[in-house]
Structure 1
Amino acid sequence: MSEVRVLVYHQAGDAAGVEAAYHRVSARMRGVPGLLGNELLRSVTDATGFVVLSRWSGIEAFQAWEAGAAHRADTTPLRPYRDTRMEAPFALYEVAASYPETGP
């Protein structure tokens, strides 16, 4: 089973609002089975662009959470910031290959 990365795209001029919502969602999702962690990324070329990247143990773990009743409630604080400029404001990627971090 390969790890999965889920990217959810957000767009807002209110960076503080996005960051606050991200922290609320992250706190709600602490302990979700299969969730390995997440990050809030801010675009360096678009001041209004953000991505939440989450790491999952596998597609099955992500799909189980997504199909569960808590999914919508967990992510509610970030929903107003979804990037509506995109056809699909999310993407799923399976890790095909990786290298561990190396020392100096």
Structure 2
Amino acid sequence: MNLQEKIIAIANYHGLENQLTKLSEEGAELAAATLKGLGLLLKEHKCSNPKKLERIRRKKKLAEEKAKEEVADVLLVARQIEYLMLSEPKFEKKITDLMQQKAEREISRIKEDEQCI
């Protein structure tokens, strides 16, 4: 079974409602892992003790790996939702419309930033 087939099998088993909840969980775990890495990065910059610095760097490396795992979890569930939306046309249209608006807003911000340079 390839990855797409696994995504479909998992999505069909759990359904849209459950996977929307799961995405919230995974997003929170990603946020926590990312913030932990950021906190360790700040500690690393402030630390001058070589032994403590080495310990911080090891922890930071572990936090970075954890964040990568959480990105994988978020993408896996998001792709399930993307697949499941195909059977919910109104939901899919609403999400697509919102994505379009958000993308347009970000493109506008980028253009504004480029004018400041």
Instruction: Verify same fold: TM over 0.5.
Output: no
- Could you say which structure has the higher strand fraction? 1
Q: By percentage of residues, which structure has more helix? A: 2
Higher relative contact order (CA 8 A, sep 6+): 1
